[in-house]
């Protein structure tokens, strides 16, 4: 259906239909560009948004700071288009320095490491953000805290990339060394049997059994940043290991430690999480667009959330998501 010469613009599709502030969303439709010498004006709900590209059948809209979820519309003069819903991530914590996935417990508390500059001690190693978005110090005294993970008893595990050590913190706050000699210890993940996996970005994934025996589980090419880990319900361990190329891989490691390339073609992939129906969610660039990429079990990738600077993500008990940038946490409706 085409817009009439004097009718409003017709919006047909947003891609993606979710974004962080600063992310760019493509809007497809008819009659979207300049009309009778009037440039189109974009808005998300009541918030004006800037157009980075304007063509008759496609515009690119940048989500402004302060925007909230609402309908995207284009207007020419007094003529406004139909609306299409856009989910916008809302900031819930800032002044952080995280480099990996946050961890979420069954009550919806979010644990995020404050990593700091290499070799530099900071006052708080891990913060906890409760379901009301109140942030408080949770763990102190871990140098360059990097990866975080929770076991089924709600013990928190934290890796130190500086020390090559993994710490365990009980729900009562008691801290102890769980494993040492993990190299440049980065991402952490548990399997259903209680085995803990740790990525040493110099090329090794360690498996730590519940009795603390340590095994070399798999080896990969070294990463310039970190190994990010995500465990699937079937026991497959997914790993991202960003390098200096713009064509990085996501690896799948079987429960027996066999490594294969699961997907190739991402730019600087970082944090990973499991989505719906076996989809894998990755903080990465896809075809030059940065955000959260969704990879289906059939290997099809698409940008699910537009946004710059995402380093980690995690699902919340209510089906929503928390997204982590280097400096802040965001809440996004699922």
Cβ 189 vs Cβ 229: under 8 Å: yes
What does the pLDDT read at residue 4?
A: 40
| Residue 293 predicted with pLDDT over 90 | yes
Q: Is the backbone of residue 183 left (phi > 0), alpha (psi -120 to 50) or beta?
A: left
Digit-coded pLDDT (tens) for 251-271: 999 999 999 999 999 999 999
Residue burial 206-240, b: 16+ Cβ < 10 Å; e: rest? bbbeeeeeeeebbebeebebbbbbbbbeeebbbbb
Give the residue carrying structure tokens 């997907």: 263
Cβ 148 vs Cβ 102: under 8 Å: yes
How far apart are alpha carbons 115 and 82 in whole angstroms?
Answer: 45
Residue ranges of domains in the chain: 10-88, 91-332
Question: In the CATH hierarchy, which fold is given to the domain comprising 91-332?
Answer: Neuraminidase (2.120.10)
The model's pTM: 0.94
| Residue 115 predicted with pLDDT over 50 | yes
| Residue 153 predicted with pLDDT over 70 | yes
Residues 170-199: what's their mean pLDDT?
A: 97
Digit-coded pLDDT (tens) for 203-245: 999 999 999 999 999 999 999 999 999 999 999 999 999 998 8
Cβ-based burial of 107 (10 A; exposed 0-12, middle 13-18, buried ≥19): exposed
276 phi, psi to nearest 5 deg: -80, 150
What does the pLDDT read at residue 1?
A: 36
As a 3-state breakdown, the chain gives helix, strand, coil percent values, each rounded to 5, of 0, 50, 50
Distance of CA 181 to the CA centre of its chain: 28
What letter does residue 38 receive in the DSSP assignment?
A: B
Angle made by CA atoms 95, 100, 103, in degrees to the nearest 5:
90
How far apart are alpha carbons 242 and 227 in whole angstroms?
Answer: 8
Q: Mean pLDDT over all residues of the chain?
A: 94
Cβ 144 vs Cβ 160: under 8 Å: yes
> For the chain, how many residues are written?
334
Cβ 25 vs Cβ 15: under 8 Å: yes
CB atoms within 10 A of CB 133: 13
Q: How many Cα atoms are found within 13 Å in the side-chain-facing hemisphere of 213?
A: 4
Whether 10-88 and 91-332 share one fold: the answer is no
CATH number of this structure's domain 10-88, picked from the four choices 3.40.50.2000, 2.60.40.10, 3.30.70.990, 3.40.50.300: 2.60.40.10
What does the pLDDT read at residue 210?
A: 97
Residues 106-111: what's their mean pLDDT?
A: 96
| Residue 48 predicted with pLDDT over 80 | yes
């Amino acid at each position: 259906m085409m817009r009439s010469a004097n009718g409003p613009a017709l919006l047909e599709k947003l891609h993606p239909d979710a974004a962080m502030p600063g992310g760019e969303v493509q809007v497809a439709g008819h009659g979207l560009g300049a009309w009778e010498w009037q440039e189109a004006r974009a808005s998300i709900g009541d918030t004006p948004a800037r157009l980075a590209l304007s063509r008759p059948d496609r515009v690119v809209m940048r989500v402004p700071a302060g925007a909230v979820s609402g309908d995207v519309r284009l207007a020419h003069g007094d003529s406004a288009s139909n609306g299409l819903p856009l989910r916008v991530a809302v900031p819930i914590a800032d002044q952080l320095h995280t480099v990996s996935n946050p961890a979420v417990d069954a009550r919806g508390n979010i644990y995020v490491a404050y990593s700091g500059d290499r070799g530099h001690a900071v006052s708080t190693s891990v913060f906890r953000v409760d379901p009301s978005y109140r942030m408080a110090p949770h763990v102190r005294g871990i140098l360059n805290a990097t990866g975080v993970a929770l076991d089924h008893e709600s013990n928190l595990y934290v890796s130190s990339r500086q020390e090559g050590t993994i710490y365990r913190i009980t729900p009562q706050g008691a801290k102890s060394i769980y494993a040492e000699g993990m190299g440049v210890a980065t991402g952490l993940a548990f399997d259903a049997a209680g085995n803990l996996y740790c990525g040493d970005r110099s090329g090794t994934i360690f498996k730590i059994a519940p009795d603390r025996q340590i095994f070399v589980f798999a080896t990969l090419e070294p990463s310039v940043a970190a190994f990010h880990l995500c465990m699937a319900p079937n026991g497959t361990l997914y790993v991202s290991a960003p390098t200096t190329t713009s064509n990085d891989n996501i690896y799948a490691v079987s429960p027996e430690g066999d490594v294969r390339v699961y997907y190739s073609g991402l730019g600087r992939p970082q944090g990973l999480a499991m989505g719906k129906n076996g989809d894998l969610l990755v903080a990465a660039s896809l075809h030059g667009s940065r955000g959260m990429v969704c990879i289906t079990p059939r290997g099809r990738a698409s940008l699910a959330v537009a946004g710059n600077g995402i380093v980690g993500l995690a699902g919340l008990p209510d089906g929503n998501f928390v997204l982590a940038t280097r400096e802040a946490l965001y809440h996004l409706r699922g």
